[in-house]
């Protein structure tokens, strides 16, 4: 019933997959670069900038949603998937997570690379990144899960049904005043959980190792 419903469940899934893919890739690229700079490069104001970055984690999204919406509205990106992708390409938490991982790497590796004439980009690409698999896996799963299940921001930015994401589609299946069939809604929820579950099953070893090595306990 979910797959044959008048509400396009397939389309919602494809929209969510596209947004989640680009947000995850963006956070892996920007987060790893910024984390390497904060962990291994020396530049003026490094600790102050990192402190400001951590302070941004205490600002809830509800505080910044109005100015971001006004900005996206002026550049005609409301009701567009770019309104969800572009503001989410960076993550302060992702930078913090990967920085903690890069800090655990032996300094001798980077000292030896400097002696051989390697610059910051070569050290990032050939030394730090190949060893950051567990940290990148942890950030991938966290970002994927957060973006895939996001309900608040798509509700604000998206208007037309053709562009809506999976959480909005599940809400639409509930119907007006919860008049929809509960069993259909639960079936849709079960289908929406599958991608996250499959990703975690494939990457759980790296995820657990990455969380452990970065010092985040829960």
DSSP 34-60: HHHHHHH---TTHHHHHHHHHHGGGS-
Least confident window among 126-130, 173-177, 205-209: 205-209
- The structure tokens 């980009």 sit at 121
| Short-list 205, 34, 218, 25, CA closest to 133 | 205
Least confident window among 22-36, 55-69, 82-96, 125-139: 125-139
Tokens found for residue 33: 């670069």
- Please write the tens of the pLDDT for every residue from 165-189: 999 988 888 776 666 778 888 888 8
Least confident window among 53-57, 88-92, 108-112, 143-147: 108-112
What percent of the chain is predicted at pLDDT more than 70?
Answer: 92
Cα–Cα distance for residue pair 217/79, rounded to 1 Å: 38
Does residue 216 carry a pLDDT above 60?
no
Does residue 25 carry a pLDDT above 60?
yes
> What's this model's pTM, rounded to 2 decimal places?
0.86
Least confident window among 61-65, 173-177, 211-215: 211-215
Q: What is the mean pLDDT of the chain?
A: 87
Residue 23 vs residue 186, higher pLDDT? 23
Cα–Cα distance for residue pair 54/175, rounded to 1 Å: 40
Does residue 193 carry a pLDDT above 70?
yes
């Amino acid at each position: 019933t979910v797959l044959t419903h008048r509400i396009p469940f397939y389309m919602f899934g494809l929209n969510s997959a596209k947004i989640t893919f680009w947000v995850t890739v963006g956070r892996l690229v920007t987060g790893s670069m910024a984390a390497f700079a904060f962990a291994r490069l020396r530049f003026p104001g490094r600790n102050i900038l990192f402190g400001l970055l951590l302070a941004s984690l205490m600002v809830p999204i509800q505080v910044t949603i109005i100015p971001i919406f006004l900005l996206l509205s002026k550049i005609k990106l409301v009701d567009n998937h770019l309104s969800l992708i572009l503001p989410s390409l960076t993550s302060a938490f992702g930078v913090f997570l990967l920085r903690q991982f890069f800090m655990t790497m032996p300094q001798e590796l980077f000292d030896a690379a400097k002696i051989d004439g390697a610059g910051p980009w070569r050290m990032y690409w050939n030394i730090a990144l190949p060893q950051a698999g567990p940290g990148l896996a942890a950030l991938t799963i966290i970002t994927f899960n957060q973006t895939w299940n996001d309900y608040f921001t798509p509700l604000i930015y998206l208007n037309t049904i053709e562009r809506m994401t999976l959480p909005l589609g599940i809400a639409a299946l509930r119907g007006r005043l919860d008049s929809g069939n509960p069993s259909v809604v639960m079936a849709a929820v079960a289908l929406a959980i599958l991608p996250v579950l499959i990703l975690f099953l494939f990457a759980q070893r790296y995820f657990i190792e990455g969380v452990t090595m970065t010092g985040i306990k829960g």
